[in-house]
Amino acid sequence: MVAGMQSRNTPPTRAGGRPRSAEADTAILEATRQALVDLGWTKLTLGDVATRAGVAKTTLYRRWPGKSELVVDAVAELFDELELPDSGSLATDIEGVVLQFAALLGRPETKTALMAVVAESTTDEPLRARIRASIVDRQKRLVLAGRARAQDRGELPLEPDPATAARTADLIFDVIAGAVVHRALVSAEPVDEEWARRFTWLVLGGLSAVAGQGPGPGSP
């Protein structure tokens, strides 16, 4: 289920020779995540990761240009575990994905790594492309799937113009992901069911709806 990842790290030249150890790859990525938990982003060193993974430091540098790229690959695997639960309505679909995303951001390795690599990427264009390809763009599937389902149910109108539809999907993605990240990491307050419900209410009905009369505590 988490296959097809090796495409992120292809040797520069293809030829016969000793193949790269796939066990080393998984051991390194797992060691990276564990080091993130124990040390956090800044105190994480590649030498330490190599020791934890049981490989030589030089092996790390043969496969990844540096710390940022390694961490991106290590956390990207976690994001692929997100899935859209078909809960029957657009509102509960959004709530479900928000809570899943929040749970992911609650893990210490994700928490400390995500913002750090994004910060790095503001002065490192190749890294930014790697983040988009490995994490951001892959998760837009959730927005597209949720909209398609909602349209099938008749909860959302069809958007005939594909360009406009794409812009809308990007907008929704930035709003949902951005709000959850900001709530969890900047405001550092819990993303619980209560918050998810009010947030979903805002996204669906707009500001006047949420400011006037929010959904009751037991809204279906």
Partner DNA sequence: CGCTTTCGCTACGGCTCGTAGCGTAACTGC
Partner DNA sequence: GCAGTTACGCTACGAGCCGTAGCGAAAGCG
Q: Which of 15, 158, 186, 188 binds DNA (CB under 7 A)?
A: 15
Among 47, 88, 108, 206, binds DNA (CB under 7 A): 47
Would residue 158 be called left, alpha or beta, if left means φ above 0 and alpha means ψ between -120 and 50 degrees? beta
Q: Which is nearer to a copy of itself, 82 or 185 (CB)?
A: 185
- Over the window 136 to 175, marking each residue x when it contacts DNA by CB under 7 A and - when it does not, the resulting string is ----------------------------------------
If binding is defined by CB under 7 A, does position 123 make contact with DNA? Answer: no
Contact pattern from residue 107 through residue 126 relative to a copy of itself, giving x for each residue in contact according to CB under 8 A and a dash for the rest: -x--xxxxxx-xxxxxx---
Structure tokens at 33: 């995540």
Quote the tokens at residue 90.
């657009």
In angstroms, the CA 143 to CA 82 distance is: 12
Out of a copy of itself, DNA, none, what residue 62 binds, judged by CB under 5 to 8 A for its kind, is DNA
Q: Which of residues 197-216 bind a copy of itself (CB under 8 A)?
A: 198-199, 202-212, 214
* Angle at CA of residue 63, ends 58 and 66, nearest 5°: 80
Work out whether the CA dihedral 167, 168, 172, 178 comes out positive or negative: positive
Q: Which is nearer to DNA, 47 or 206 (CB)?
A: 47
Nearest by Cα to 119 from 185, 48, 33: 185
Site residues for a copy of itself, 149-178, by CB under 8 A, read: 155-157, 159, 164, 167-168, 170-175, 177-178
Which residues have C-beta within 8 Å of that of residue 27, sequence separation ≥ 6?
Answer: 53, 54, 55
Residue 175: exposure state from Cβ atoms within 10 A (0-12, 13-18, ≥19):
middle
The footprint of DNA (CB under 7 A) covers 11, 13, 15-21, 24, 45-48, 54-59, 61-63, 66-67
